[in-house]
């Protein structure tokens, strides 16, 4: 299987090359960053509830460990592949470097639809997958976290399995755990909160502020979109559209976000929510709004539909929701894009906090977590904004340049072994 199989990897690769050329990066460093350090493919046999055994494909990819242990989520989704996982690991490398964390980039996943499985089957699959990747993960090697299709319970099973293999509790092997077993306060909503921090930073740079006339559309009302919607709603913004896999709901006067949240948390689909206008996910992306937050999956805005996107600001809550062609199209017509490796970095930042708290066995209150998150994201945002002005480029490229500058410096200091 080729790394270049997925459009997502091709797009990440293109953005790396483009940023490298703009900043005149050392070609030897650039060449090394094009490929992951290590990629593990595993078979995950699971005995299903009906007694049959089914084998799933699993992966763990470590792109770079130059700055520290690997960091990145584990995804349960039908589209998981080596190529997609490698692309996500590459983006994690750049994300951790951009926000100044002592961590490298990694990612993992299993090709599966978790909604088709029972709790017992998911637990068995997670424990077997953990056993298969145990040799390359650990608090000082590579620290997984939740992603699409996984959650705190998944991480609890992973931590317990790894701890059973070691013979003692190892809470630092994963982040995104429930607070009761070493998780951090604020972790669950951290990615969405970071998205809103970045939106506010951007508005400050533009000498504007969020008001009750600010309109927002959110593609993906889940782990990222839901807390982002709540924070923006509490600031007075008008959330006019949200969506899930079933479609989107729309109200020009603003949606009742608390009611929609309660509906979704009861495992109900938005398409079944009564007393609201239903539109498609595609129509949501094309709404005339102030802020669009694509917070679901990658590749939803491409060269084919970018010219239909009317939002003045796009905050990339998901990983890679805009292709590099779409970024160019939207930037050329005056749109401001807050790039994914900056905008959704809140999750990995608070994961880092959780890792640090677990190693120290000393835990922080929520205000401390959120204050530290705000400060780190503000520093990173200012660095990217300055790079945008220095290199006369868009925010996406500026974020890559800022990240690559740190990685290049570290790689040159460490050198290559053998020389």
- Of 322, 290, 317, 293, give the one whose Cα is nearest residue 306: 322
In the DSSP assignment, the letter for residue 230 is H
Q: Which of 37, 107, 177, 388 is catalytic?
A: 107
Exposure letters 313-350 (e unless 16+ CB within 10 A, then b) = bbbbbbbbbbbbebbbbbbeeebbbbbbbbbbbbbbbb
Residue partners of 203: CB distance under 8 A and separation at least 6:
209, 210
Residue partners of 213: CB distance under 8 A and separation at least 6:
238
Query: Reduced to 3 states, what is the DSSP secondary structure of residue 164?
Result: helix
Given a contact cutoff of 8 angstroms between Cβ atoms, the answer to whether 116 and 125 are in contact is no
Q: Is 107 a catalytic residue?
A: yes
Given a contact cutoff of 8 angstroms between Cβ atoms, the answer to whether 385 and 342 are in contact is no
- Of 192, 157, 149, give the one whose Cα is nearest residue 177: 157
- Of 14, 28, 3, give the one whose Cα is nearest residue 411: 28
Query: How far apart are alpha carbons 115 and 369 in whole angstroms?
Result: 32
Q: Quick one: 22 exposed, middle or buried, by C-beta within 10 A (0-12, 13-18, 19+)?
A: middle
Radius of gyration of the chain (CA): 21
Which are the catalytic amino acids? Answer: 107
């Amino acid at each position: 299987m080729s790394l270049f199989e997925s459009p997502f990897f091709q797009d990440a690769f293109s953005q790396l090359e483009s940023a490298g050329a703009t900043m005149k990066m050392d070609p030897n460093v650039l060449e090394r960053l094009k490929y992951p350090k290590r990629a593990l493919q595993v078979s995950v046999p699971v005995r299903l509830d009906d007694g049959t055994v089914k084998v799933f494909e699993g992966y763990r990819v470590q792109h770079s460990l130059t700055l520290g242990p690997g960091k990145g989520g584990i995804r349960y989704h039908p589209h998981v592949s080596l190529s997609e996982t490698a692309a996500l690991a590459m983006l994690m490398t750049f994300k951790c470097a951009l926000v100044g964390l002592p961590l490298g980039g990694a990612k993992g996943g299993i090709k599966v639809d978790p909604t088709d499985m029972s709790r017992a089957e998911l637990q068995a699959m997670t424990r077997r997958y953990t056993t298969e990747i145990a040799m390359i993960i650990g608090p000082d090697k590579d620290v997984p976290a939740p992603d699409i299709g996984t959650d705190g319970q998944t991480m609890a099973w992973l931590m317990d399995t790894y701890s059973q293999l070691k013979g003692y509790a190892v809470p630092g092997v994963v982040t995104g755990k429930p607070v009761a077993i070493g998780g951090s306060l604020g972790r669950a909503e951290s990615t969405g909160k970071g998205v809103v921090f970045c939106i506010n930073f951007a508005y400050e740079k533009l000498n504007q502020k969020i008001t009750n006339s600010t309109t927002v559309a959110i593609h993906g009302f889940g782990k990222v979109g839901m807390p982002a919607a709540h924070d923006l709603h509490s600031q007075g913004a008008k959330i006019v559209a949200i969506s899930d896999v079933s479609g989107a709901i729309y109200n020009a006067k603003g949606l009742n976000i608390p009611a929609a949240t309660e509906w979704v948390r009861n495992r109900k689909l938005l398409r079944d929510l009564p007393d609201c206008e239903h539109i498609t996910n595609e129509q949501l992306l094309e709404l005339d709004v102030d802020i669009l937050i694509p917070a679901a999956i990658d590749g939803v805005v491409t060269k084919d539909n970018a010219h239909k996107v009317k939002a003045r600001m796009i905050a990339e809550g998901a990983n890679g929701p805009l292709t590099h062609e779409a970024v160019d199209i939207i930037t050329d017509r005056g749109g401001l894009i807050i790039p994914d490796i900056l905008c959704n970095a809140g999750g990995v930042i608070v994961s880092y906090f959780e890792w640090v708290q677990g190693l120290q066995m000393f835990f922080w209150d929520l205000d401390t977590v959120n204050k530290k998150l705000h400060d780190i994201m503000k520093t990173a945002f200012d660095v990217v904004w300055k790079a945008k002005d220095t290199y006369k480029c868009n925010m996406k490229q500026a974020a890559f340049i800022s990240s690559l500058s740190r990685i290049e410096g570290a790689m040159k200091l460490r050198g290559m072994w053998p020389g």
